Amino acid sequence: MVVEFNKWCCETLRENRNVLAEPEAEPHVEPETWRVVEGDIRKVDFKPFEGKLEIISGGPPCQPFSLGGRHRAYDDARDMFPQAVRAVREARPRAFIFENVKGLTRASFHDYYTYIQLQLEHPEITSGDGETWTQHRARLEQHHTSNIRTGLNYRVLPRLLNAAEYGVPQRRERVVFVGFRDDFNARWTLSDGKHSQEALVWDQLFGDYWDRHKVAKKDRVLEGRASQMSKRLSRDEKPDTLPWRTTRDAIADLPDPEKVPHQAAKIHNHRYQPGAKIYPGHTGSYLDEPSKTLKAGVHGVPGGENMLRRADGSVRYFSTREAARLQTFPDHYRLHGAWTECMRQIGNAVPVELARVVGESVAKQLDEAA
């Protein structure tokens, strides 16, 4: 079962739940075995799932902690972490994965960050009537340090991950909380990513990056930190990691929807969106680096993060298909709604490749602990 509040996201989920990563392969999941519930997570009863689930995963709304939001955290009605804890408490899964924005790790949210982790570790210790979150946290801390682990408890490990290090052509940092129920002897860890900026810059300096993409010498530009990094790299010392994937790596084979709209129209979700502008702090994503973090935006789509900056300095918005590629969605995955709605879905999503890496690492531990 998938629970989602947004109408357009639900339409996207319903269409794509029967789409396979490999269309010619046999179905991995029969479509009738899971359903999309369009509505408020607070109205979902998880008790019927008790003892029946291997895992619960989710991304509680991140606006309370987003660097681009109002930073209200526990004072924000959109904070759905209490519902994540309730789902774990009622269904008692063997494991869970919850994802949120990097902003949750800021110093100003440190106490609440700790509070979230303690609640996930001890979900049966609920807050009392009239008890503030700080009072509840104090009780959880006392219980946690007492070494009493009767009832339902989880071993929780939070990790801050950069999607670019896992082969996603986007610099997207996210916090992931992974937890395993106490009665399973799971020994989970997530390997470091195999991709690095250093390897990308080396490939651009000494490898075949530019030739592979048939980029003219006048357009071969290193920006920002990459330019500084280039000064200390040597041809004879090739990094043992793989290069970060760039925006050009992700979308170079797609026709430019602004310059050749008739060709672009043959590709689903690939239409030109006018109106892109540069303004202070919003300069777009460079072609030869991973893109900036794609964002959903509270009041529409921000200009800088969801915008391509060409080598000549001109800019345009990413098409829906280009943005989906930057999030590593397969090309046969179709998004519903107008461009703004599609970009909102993409900006709220977890990169598919990063989700696969984390999910498979947890699945491996569940199999080994069975």
pLDDT in tens, 21-79: 455 555 555 555 678 999 999 999 999 999 899 999 999 875 554 444 443 444 445 67
State if pTM tops 0.75.
yes
pLDDT in tens, 294-310: 988 644 455 467 899 98
pLDDT at 77: 57
pLDDT tens digits, 13-26: 988 876 654 555 55
H-type helices in 290-331, by residue range?
320-326
CATH classification of 2-193+352-369 is 3.40.50.150, yes or no?
yes
Q: What is the pLDDT of residue 301?
A: 52
pLDDT digits (tens, 9 = 90+) for 140-160: 999 999 988 889 999 999 999
Distance of CA 4 to the CA centre of its chain: 16
* CA-wise closest residue to 284 among 274, 297, 293: 293
CATH fold for domain 195-348: DNA Methylase; Chain A, domain 2 (3.90.120)
- The b/e string for 323-356 (b: 16+ C-beta within 10 A; e otherwise) is bbbbbbbeeebbbbbebebbbbbbbbbbbbbbbe
pLDDT average, residue stretch 105-111: 83
pLDDT band for position 285 (cuts 50, 70, 90): very high
3-state secondary structure of 139: helix
- Is 90 exceeded by the pLDDT of residue 181? yes
Q: Give 60-64's long-range contacts (Cβ < 8 A, gap of 24+).
A: 60/84, 60/98, 60/100, 62/100, 62/101, 62/103, 62/104, 62/348, 63/298
Instruction: Tell me which residue has tokens 């009767």.
Output: 150
Domain locations in the chain? 2-193+352-369, 195-348
User: Are 320 and 339 contacting, i.e. CB atoms less than 8 angstroms apart?
Assistant: yes
Tens digit of each residue's pLDDT (9 = 90 or more) over 74-103: 444 567 889 999 999 999 999 999 999 888
